[in-house]
Homo-oligomer: A and B are copies of this chain.
Amino acid sequence: MSEEELDARHAEKMKKKKAARDKILATKTIEKGLLIVHTGKGKGKSTAAFGLVFRALGNGMKVGIVQFVKGKWETGERHALERFPGEVTITAMGDGFTWETQDRQRDIQAARAAWERAKAMIIDEEHDMVLLDEMNIVLRYDYLDIAEVVDFLKGRPDRKHVVVTGRNAKDELIELADLVTEMEMVKHPFRAGVKAQKGIEF
């Protein structure tokens, strides 16, 4: 096929694609607060959630963040979020990863305190989006009651976006969610002996 034929074919194909896309977009008319879940064993669950947070901040929205598991990833994000004073509220649950503390009762208390803080942010008029980072982990350990969480999220203000991250998302949460992405690990540098690096992993 000549270059000219290729070009013509391409133009025709793209025209059809655009028409199909425009037709689909025309049917999408509902605006509402979304419940977004990032789960799966791959990287990028919290990272994509922080991407959403920065996008929302860039759009002039106010964001609340509750960290249910305190990890090392936070350094970079924290510094970046400092550029948005007064536009983002961050609450971290007590003490480190569960496999660092080994104290189940303390973890349960910390999870519940974090959930109370999350509820307050979800109800208030101030925040447009609330990120519940790694909440799936504490739900999986049954530190929080999934039925209570689902009930509360169902009854939240109409326009409030809520983002939940962490592997092993519970079925009840996936059922309720508007948008669920599963991050699947295809390849990980750990396999090749590469260590976690500043600016990438934390």
Contacts and interface: CB of A to CB of B under 8 A. Distances in A.
Nearest to A175: B187
A28 B196 contact: yes
B34 A194 contact: yes
Contact of A184 (B52, B181, B197): B181
A83 B183 CA distance: 29
A128 interface: yes
Given A54-B50, A77-B54, A195 B28 contact: yes
A58 interface: yes
Nearest to A27: B193
Copies of this chain, count: 2
A2 interface: no
Given A21-B99, A83-B84, A187 B195 contact: no
Q: How large is the interface on A (under 10, 10 to 19, 20 to 34, 35 or more residues)?
A: 35 or more
Interface in A48-103: 48-52, 54-61, 73, 75-84, 98-103
A44 B194 CA distance: 24
Interface stretch (A7-15, A109-117, A118-126, A147-155): A7-15
Interface of A: 3, 6-7, 10-11, 14-15, 17-18, 21, 24-25, 27-32, 34, 36-40, 42-44, 46-52, 54-61, 73, 75-84, 98-105, 128-129, 161, 174, 177-190, 192-200, 202
